[in-house]
Amino acid sequence: MGMWIGRNRKARVTYGFDEIALVPGRVTINPNEVDITFRLPRKAAEPLELKIPIFASAMDGVVDVGFAIAMNTAIFVAGRLIKDGRIRRSYIGVGGQNVTLPRRLVRLQHLSITTGVLVVAVEPHSPAQRAGVLEGDVIIEYDSQPIASIDALLRLLTDEQVHARAALTLLRHGEKLVLAIEPEESPQRASA
């Protein structure tokens, strides 16, 4: 089923939770045309097959897996919002970017990771500034956990880390340095 929406352009009519939405056919993936089955192999039996549903509001139009939120994250966030009315996070006050470490440095320092977080900014009066973190440092561990990316660092900065002293291991001019840091509660930011 479809309808013409312009010269040489055809769209399918799709149904959402709230209303009917009109979505261009070349971009949208029709669930009837795509296998969304997740297969788990089992010994001496046929694989266990699970259909993975993709839900979207009619206003979303196109749903991309890149925008999906893990269900355990959604449950956690919903629970905290119901309980506290907000999400509490810890922060250390650095801006960073992922970097690949030179192989020679990885071998020399006996590192378990080949990437880290290059500190490109340190917020004034932040836990990082008080601990002595400088621009140009590369964060490689937080509380004995390897930090290979910004995402890995953010995953560790949970609400339980607020005011919990931790060891922050970093590389400064090729030398390994361990600093004591005490994350604070992330300040509430004004939304635009």
CATH number (domain holding residue 147) = 2.30.42.10
> Could you tell me if residue 146 is inside a domain?
yes
Give the DSSP letter of residue 162. T
Task: Render each residue's pLDDT in the chain as its tens digit; 192 residues.
Answer: 455 556 666 655 544 444 434 444 444 445 555 566 667 777 777 777 766 655 555 444 444 454 455 566 677 777 778 887 777 889 899 999 999 999 999 999 999 999 999 999 999 999 999 999 999 999 999 999 999 999 899 889 988 899 999 999 999 999 999 999 999 998 765 444
> Could you tell me if residue 75 is inside a domain?
no
User: By C-alpha distance, which of 120, 29, 33 is closest to 66?
Assistant: 29
Q: Phi and psi of 41, rounded to 5°?
A: -70, 145
38 and 107 belong to one structural domain: no
107 and 37 belong to one structural domain: no
Q: What does the pLDDT read at residue 114?
A: 93
Q: What does the pLDDT read at residue 42?
A: 73
100 and 48 belong to one structural domain: no
Q: What does the pLDDT read at residue 62?
A: 47
95 and 179 belong to one structural domain: yes
Q: What does the pLDDT read at residue 144?
A: 92
181 and 102 belong to one structural domain: yes
> Could you tell me if residue 108 is inside a domain?
yes
Q: What does the pLDDT read at residue 87?
A: 78
120 and 181 belong to one structural domain: yes
Is residue 178 within 8 A of residue 169, CB to CB? The reply is: yes
Instruction: Tell the burial category of 58 from Cβ atoms under 10 Å away from its Cβ (0-12, 13-18, 19+).
Output: middle
> Could you tell me if residue 73 is inside a domain?
no
> Could you tell me if residue 56 is inside a domain?
yes
Question: How far apart, in whole angstroms, are the C-alpha atoms of residue 182 and residue 172?
Answer: 20
Q: Which domain holds residue 10?
A: 3-68
156 and 107 belong to one structural domain: yes
102 and 25 belong to one structural domain: no
Is residue 149 within 8 A of residue 117, CB to CB? The reply is: yes
> Could you tell me if residue 143 is inside a domain?
yes
| Number of domains making up the chain | 2
* Residue at token pair 């931790």: 166
* Residue at token pair 């604070």: 184
**pTM of the prediction?**
0.60
61 and 97 belong to one structural domain: no
User: By C-alpha distance, which of 79, 57, 73, 90 is closest to 157?
Assistant: 90
- Tell me the two tokens of residue 97: 């970017």
Q: What does the pLDDT read at residue 54?
A: 52
What is the helix (H) or strand (E) element at residue 11, kind and residue range? strand 9-15
Using CA atoms, how far residue 107 sits from 113, 157, 175, in Å, is 10, 28, 12
